[in-house]
Amino acid sequence: EAGVAQSPRYKIIEKRQSVAFWCNPISGHATLYWYQQILGQGPKLLIQFQNNGVVDDSQLPKDRFSAERLKGVDSTLKIQPAKLEDSAVYLCASLDYLAGNTIYFGEGSWLTVV
Amino acid sequence: RKEVEQDPGPFNVPEGATVAFNCTYSNSASQSFFWYRQDCRKEPKLLMSVYSSGNEDGRFTAQLNRASQYISLLIRDSKLSDSATYLCVVNPRGGKLIFGQGTELSVKP
């Protein structure tokens, strides 16, 4: 079974530029998450989708971050304009209800804002 | 108060030692609990779920105390390969998963 796919793996941009990350969850997983993990901290939930609907985006900085999952499968997270403090790894994950609510992470997209 | 709070690390232990991590959570209605392991510059991976009755998987034992709202992870006979960051994860409701800040473990020869 293919895992959660993310791209790009690494991105370096200047502050005020924009960036987009893509995620394709495990086939059949209706719930998809985007987490932000800053070095030395635990992952912080940015947004949770159930199919193509948003379940929770309370911690998404909506003035600069946006995310969509239009067809309920793959998802895109965008940052515009980026700030230095956005440097982090952006982890996409999907949830398997049949496996006791186990979530599976992609390898992450590492963002450095300079 | 943070929703999920873990012991601050790092823990530096010799091979063969027993080490325990604790985690507290603020939402008493939380439904499910997990420990994840994260290796340096890698994604988190499920180590084990935590059940009300406690559960064991080889050298790893997880305990849940709902009354005191804490979760623990015990590692016996530590191996070098156990060196990683251990993340406590709580599901307060509806598939939302909240991570603690992680506790780093370093096992030395």
Give the tens place of pLDDT for each residue, B36-94: 999 999 999 999 999 888 899 999 999 999 999 999 999 999 999 999 999 999 988 77
**CB within 8 A of B8, min separation 6: which ones?**
B103
Contact A105 B32 (CB under 8 A): no
Contact A95 B94 (CB under 8 A): no
Distance of CA A72 to the CA centre of its chain: 14
Proportion of chain A above pLDDT 90, given as a percent: 84
Residue bearing tokens 């305990």? B63
3 state SS for B15-63: CCCCEEEEEEECCCCCCEEEEEEECCCCCCEEEEEECCCCEEECCEEEE
Q: Which region, left, alpha or beta, applies to residue A101 given φ > 0 means left and ψ of -120 to 50 means alpha?
A: left
Q: CB of B102 within 8 Å of any CB in chain A?
A: yes
Q: What's the confidence (pLDDT) of residue A15?
A: 97
> What value does the mean pLDDT take over residues A39-61?
94
> What value does the mean pLDDT take over residues B15-21?
97
Contact B96 A55 (CB under 8 A): yes
Residue window 37-96, chain B: list those with CB within 8 Å of chain A: 42-46, 49, 87, 91, 94-96
pLDDT digits (tens, 9 = 90+) for A63-88: 999 999 988 899 999 999 999 999 99
Facing A102 at nearest CB: one of B43, B46, B101: B46
Give the distance from residue A43's alpha carbon to the nearest chain B alpha carbon, in angstroms. 6
Distance of CA A93 to the CA centre of its chain: 7
Residue bearing tokens 């994260």? B38
Q: Sorting pLDDT into bands at 50, 70 and 90, what band is A1?
A: low
Q: Is the confidence at residue B10, as pLDDT, over 70?
A: yes
Residue bearing tokens 């251990």? B86
Q: What's the confidence (pLDDT) of residue B74?
A: 97
